[in-house]
Each structure stands twice: as C-alpha cells, then as structure tokens.
Structure 1
C-alpha cells in the first residue's frame, strides 16, 4: 500500500476507534490495516478512502513498494524470479504496474521483501 493509513487518520484528526466505527469494522482489524498486516476488501478500501479522503485505489498500488524493496535489498529481478518461481516477463510486468500480482505472488513477494 502506498497510502499510509496512520498518517491519513492523524491528518484527519481521527482516532483508530473513530475510523473503525465509521467503517463498521473492529478496532483490532483497523489496527492490522494500519500496520499492513491485512489488506482491505475493495468495498472497505472505498469506505476508508471516503472517510480519510484519499483515492482508495492507492491501497492496492504495491508496484512501487515491490520495486523499492527489491532495490533496497540489493536483489536483481533474476534473484526475485528464482526465489518466487515467477516468470521473469510476468514479474517485470508486475513490478512496472502492467499486471496485478495474484494473491499468492503478492504473499511470496511480501515474505521475501519483508513488507
């Protein structure tokens, strides 16, 4: 996620409880969203975008995160493809935002790149 929910919430001067209540979710689930331990559904992302006034699609824009993490860990595209078994052309398309990673691919990348 490129959007930092905690920063957006603080900018709006809301507590976690207030955002959770407005979004009709538990405070513990909202806290997991803020720490990126969970990814919201599209419907919830839309609601959070409305509450905190940001483009909800940004919650799913992970391509910059993937590329930046890969580079910061000094991993090449080939390294990532070997570790994840993702086809090189597909990985390049995902990293450049031309294709969306599957849930399994995203989980692998999150594990390897620690995000």
Structure 2
C-alpha cells in the first residue's frame, strides 16, 4: 500500500448581481415553464412597479416585460414594433430572452422664444 497525499486547488470568482437579473426587457416565449402570471408576480416581488407587462400573441412570444424607465424615453408601441422586427423572430418556444436597450436621443435644433 502506498501513501499518497491529496492536493486540492480551489478557484473562486464572483461578481455582484442585481435583482431582477435583467434591466431593460424580458421576452417570454410561449410555453415557458415560468408562465406569464408567475413571472409577473416574481418581478413584482423583486422590483415592485418597475416593469410593464405587455401581452403579445406573435410567433413564439407570449409576453414582454419592459422597464418603465425605457418607456419614459420611447413609447410602448414603438418599442414593441422594434422588438417585433428585430427580436421576436429569434425567440424559441419556452425561452426567456433578455434584451438590453440603449436609447440615444439627439436634437439638431432647439429653439427658444424669449
């Protein structure tokens, strides 16, 4: 019988997280195990009154949860139109898809009356 010495190496990494684990938009695919109402309740507990729930019946999409701060910068209709064209075609059934949004607002001319 031989004497062996066990050696262990442990590598740890960590980062801070925010709850909920997304900031801007969450797209809920049809048939997702979380379900529309369950996810809405969870978001209400994690971030009360921060997200607007929008029912969608398009392709594989059942609902969209949009941060109300996003909706202060762009209308719900315009945001849903953009998602419909650029995101919804890529949503698989049963999937939760996190969408990060960056909105740039610029104005060429601002006029004031004295």
TM-score by length of 1: 0.25
The structure where helix makes up a greater share of residues is 1
Structure having the higher Rg: 2
TM-score by length of 2: 0.25
Greater relative contact order (Cα 8 A, min sep 6): structure 1 or 2? 2
The structure where strand makes up a greater share of residues is 2
